[in-house]
Structure 1
């Protein structure tokens, strides 16, 4: 079992501690299922689903015609709208049913897993239509969001001034908050406890989240006016702090102790300055799927765990001229072929 919390938007109601069975893992996560079911039952989606189910043929045709008219109006903004308008009645109704009456929820990544936060990710689950449904502002959830380093607008929403002035970037409606241990390299994904004490914005984990590489918002403005950055944006932001390099492109290249590194979606390259007389026979490199050890002339230059998995057969090294003009400066270039085409959250960390 694991613990998580429910934070009502109504300040007069306490934060509830709830429990769930962790045995379902990521593919059958009970917290995600509970949140989706809760928001479905507390929305009009159920009523819409029932109305579609019991609609007469004439009602279904009228609804399909309305959907086509809406699609035509949206054709300038969406390249798929014209295709949607060409669908038959049943296909249109089924499409609406699957997209507008299914059990879904919005997920805000309060923190993404990093080495600094012991690979603990904290997520907030909310109604995905909270704003269109005009749900009340959730002060406690918003304070937790800000405590993790996410920026929100200080300007109140014009149409909500009379009922509490919810910031455009704040959280609306009830939310669930849970934590997981998520370490892709170690192949771990497991629910761990998030208690009512953790929901305090002055908690230690919030302090860690605000640090560079701590997994939170890091004080950067949220994109698009939303309360939290996307998961990929957060991963890139925190990878910059972990990988070494603070040049605005820190997850693509940087400097570390005794070497420089760069990466793209296909490979990682590390460059070590070496003595001018260094030959290949002086170099010993242990290429592992997730490990790397570099030894030159008996001296260990690097020994650590990689930020992803490599294809050992696609990994190699060369000794090159570091300065084409003098022909004397040398550097050892180690190239690692990535098994999966993606950006690693960090290149390597010492064991």
Structure 2
């Protein structure tokens, strides 16, 4: 016979009492038993000396570049005088105008080519592929010269109901519009195709099960969802088009680059006028880059739970963090 066991001590604070979960036992924190809260944790930030050294090197190099340009043989007063010269402003307006029209042509034709490329019709898909192959495979400058010199092989422009000399039709503006717009359509076709293919196939199948036609499915179901993928690279293409339009000076279209070149050929201030043109391009691209950023935020509402902060919000957060440093461990248990 085994001897009877002594009853266990169930007094609070002993180890057996803590084992059955009845209260705070031997393994509980000290402040639970004494009632005295712990001291606040003083967080000491880790010092990143490499970051400070890297920042110092970059700032030093930037200062050297600034000093070099300040001391260079550049007549900065000439830059200021011609920055808002009427010829320069007109050139900037023409640059913006040809960019908008060329992008409109490129986006419209590019979306049509994207649909043709994805078509099950072999003729449509082959024609779209051939178009993209040609215009992506040749430089923009070559295409501009091809359109501008079209009168050498086609002296007359004849549509049956309308006929005119090709030189009267293919003006520098028209050659720039066709050269830039048709080239852009090839790239927009690939962007549109990628956006359409990003939409789940089940969306199309569900629309067809409801009796929707292929065209209506594309317009009402696929393209609205594909815009989230299409918009960001389209904004990049617009900014790139704004800069690529400077190639139109080679066919004597009166854009910003040609305006600066014409002025510098008279006053011989070549570097000064190039800086004027550079400032205008930076101004235009900056304005449209800001617009592209907020347009991307608008189309990202449905895909992200929380939108990233804007640049102004980030700057405000940084300034606030300098004024009110965070403290870790301020809360009392």
TM-score (norm 2): 0.22
TM-score (norm 1): 0.22
Which structure is higher in RCO with an 8 Å CA cutoff and minimum separation 6?
2
Higher percent of residues as helix: 2
In terms of Rg, which structure is larger?
A: 2
Higher percent of residues as strand: 1
